[in-house]
Amino acid sequence: MPELPEVETVCRGLRTAMEGRVLTQVTARRPDLRFPLPPDFAERLRARRIERIDRRAKYIVVHLDDGQVLIMHLGMSGRMNLWAPQGGKDASGGEPPPLATHDHVIFEVGNGSRVVFHDPRRFGFMALTREEDLAAHPYFAHLGPEPLGDGFNPDYLSDVLGGKRTPIKAALLDQRVVAGLGNIYVCEALHMSGISPRRLACSVSGQRAERLVPAIRDVLERAIQAGGSSLRDYAQVDGELGYFQHSWKAYGREGEPCGQAGCSGTISRIVQSGRSTFFCNKHQR
């Protein structure tokens, strides 16, 4: 599933093509994705101007001129594919490609660009709400702070982890603790900060929290700059793959030398809560 850097990369691509422009046509080629689309979905979006596009956790949040907010989640295999007319910014050139079987929702904007939501497995979903109801929406009400925001700092992390006797890896994947983190980037941040994924969350405070918070920020920022990590289905809106997977120090590197400078250890793999965890026994404590 795309994680925070991948969703942020998609948001940045969509902003270039869609912010400030009118949705001239919206087409839903089926009534449902993971969940049913909202009633009159296409009609409610058509002729609306996109004021801005934000990201919250792993959600794409599109603010419209009439106070509606479109919430989108890519799910396991969802992509936003952008086609722009020749001569326009980020032009694709030529004619738009024919629609494919798993092209489910099509957004056309005033400059002639087209954004297609493509999702073979249909685990993605879309919802509509009002601006004033957004913070209390069931998708958002429980979320912790953004890991790249000011609210996520060593003091906050020490406080929120106090008393938690789950492994730190599981705690960081809890969206109530911090929003948007996923398996890949938690593995990478724990590796970078020298903290074992098996360590009890309540023991990650003080100096450990002071190491972990900047490690999380650094890993996420570098991943965003690299366009995210491309595994299986993920690609940027222009079809380009992310390349942060080439910078992984731990994730997916079982049996390889530890990527930490000065460490002679080897990356191990264990399973925690049904998910693979990659780490170095030697320098992660």
DSSP states along 179-248 = SS--HHHHHHHHHHHT--TTSBGGG--THHHHHHHHHHHHHHHHHHHTT----TT---TTSPPP-GGGG-
Are the beta carbons of 217 and 182 closer than 8 angstroms?
A: no
- According to the model, what pLDDT value does residue 243 have? 47
Decide if 216 is inside a domain. Answer: yes
Decide if 96 is inside a domain. Answer: yes
Residues 123 and 181 in one domain: no
Decide if 138 is inside a domain. Answer: no
What token pair was written down for 144? 């912790």
Residues 58 and 110 in one domain: yes
What token pair was written down for 179? 């929003």
Q: 2 catalytic, yes or no? A: yes
* Domain end marker among 81, 103, 133: 133
Residues 12 and 128 in one domain: yes
269-272 contact pairs (CB < 8 A, 24+):
270/197, 270/198, 272/167, 272/169, 272/170, 272/197, 272/198
- According to the model, what pLDDT value does residue 240 have? 61
CATH of the domain at 235: 1.10.8.50
Q: Which residue has the higher pLDDT, 149 or 237?
A: 149
- State the catalytic residue, choosing from 58, 114, 208, 249: 58
Residues 114 and 181 in one domain: no
Structure confidence by residue, pLDDT tens digits, 76-109: 889 999 998 865 555 566 788 899 999 999 999 9
Residues 121 and 168 in one domain: no
- State the catalytic residue, choosing from 21, 44, 48, 275: 275
- State the catalytic residue, choosing from 3, 6, 8, 108: 3
Decide if 33 is inside a domain. Answer: yes
- According to the model, what pLDDT value does residue 87 have? 55
- According to the model, what pLDDT value does residue 118 have? 95
Residues 33 and 72 in one domain: yes
Structure confidence by residue, pLDDT tens digits, 190-238: 999 999 999 999 999 999 999 999 999 999 999 998 877 655 554 567 6
CATH of the domain at 117: 3.20.190.10
Residues 6+ apart with CB under 8 A from 133: none
Mean pLDDT across the chain: 91
* Domain end marker among 101, 133, 165: 133
Decide if 141 is inside a domain. Answer: no
Determine which helix (DSSP H) or strand (DSSP E) holds 113, and give its type and residue range: none
- According to the model, what pLDDT value does residue 76 have? 87
Alpha-carbon distance of 136 to 129, in angstroms, equals 10
Decide if 146 is inside a domain. Answer: no
Residues 6+ apart with CB under 8 A from 175: 57, 142, 143, 144, 181
Query: How many independent structural domains does the chain possess?
Result: 2
Residues 95 and 160 in one domain: no
Closest to 86 (Cα-Cα) out of 111, 63, 121: 111
Tell me if residue 148 falls in helix, strand or coil.
coil
Q: 221 catalytic, yes or no? A: no
Structure confidence by residue, pLDDT tens digits, 239-258: 665 546 667 899 999 999 99
* Type of residue at 112: G
The number of residues in the chain equals 285
Decide if 145 is inside a domain. Answer: no
- State the catalytic residue, choosing from 2, 154, 167, 197: 2
Taking phi first (over 0 means left), then psi (-120 to 50 degrees means alpha), and beta for anything else, what does residue 273 get? left
**Domain extent at residue 199:** 154-280
- According to the model, what pLDDT value does residue 172 have? 98
- According to the model, what pLDDT value does residue 152 have? 98
Residues 85 and 176 in one domain: no
- According to the model, what pLDDT value does residue 259 have? 79
Residues 169 and 103 in one domain: no
Closest to 55 (Cα-Cα) out of 217, 166, 179, 191: 179
Residues 164 and 255 in one domain: yes
Residues 34 and 104 in one domain: yes
Residues 110 and 175 in one domain: no
Are the beta carbons of 55 and 6 closer than 8 angstroms?
A: no
Decide if 148 is inside a domain. Answer: no
